[in-house]
Each structure stands twice: as C-alpha cells, then as structure tokens.
Amino acid sequence: MWTKWVTIHESYGLPRAADECRRYLENRGIRVKLMSRKTKRLGHLYALQVPVEQQRIAEELLRTFKKTLY
C-alpha cells in the first residue's frame, strides 16, 4: 500500500535542526523521512515529512518540542 507523505517542517542551511526534530518524532513512534535538496539561493533545504495518518500527532509533538527549545 502506498503512503502519502506531507511536509511538516522545513529548514535551510545545516541539517542540525531538522535532524533533531526527526530524532524527537522517531523516539515517539512517528515514521519520518528527512528529504534534502540544493537550492540556488539558500543552499540546502531540509524537509521533514510524515505520513498523512500521523500528521496531526506529529505537528502537536513538534510544536511542544519547539517550545522546549526556546
């Protein structure tokens, strides 16, 4: 069966922020893909993707994770 993936986070530059978010979600049982591509202006773009079925839960977890960082 095919899985539809949606992007819930994008970051530019170094992959550190996206990788920390990926690790946080994986430790809580969310399937995650970290996609990267090179852009002309901003260097590298890192996109964190999750399955559509887990999107709402992942967004809530990511929101709480970002609050703990600031």
Q: What is the pLDDT of residue 36?
A: 92
* Residue-range definition of the domain harbouring residue 47: 5-69
Q: How many domains does the chain have?
A: 1
Q: What CATH number is given to the structural domain containing 17?
A: 3.30.70
Sheet strands side by side (includes 33-39): 5-12, 43-51, 33-39
Q: What percent of the chain has pLDDT over 70?
A: 99
Residue from 49, 54, 47 nearest 30 by CA? 54
- CA pair distance 23, 46, nearest whole angstrom: 14
- CA pair distance 61, 54, nearest whole angstrom: 11
Give this prediction's pTM.
0.85
Q: In this model, does residue 63 exceed pLDDT 90?
A: yes
> Do the Cβ atoms of 66 and 11 come closer than 8 Å?
no
Q: What is the pLDDT of residue 14?
A: 82
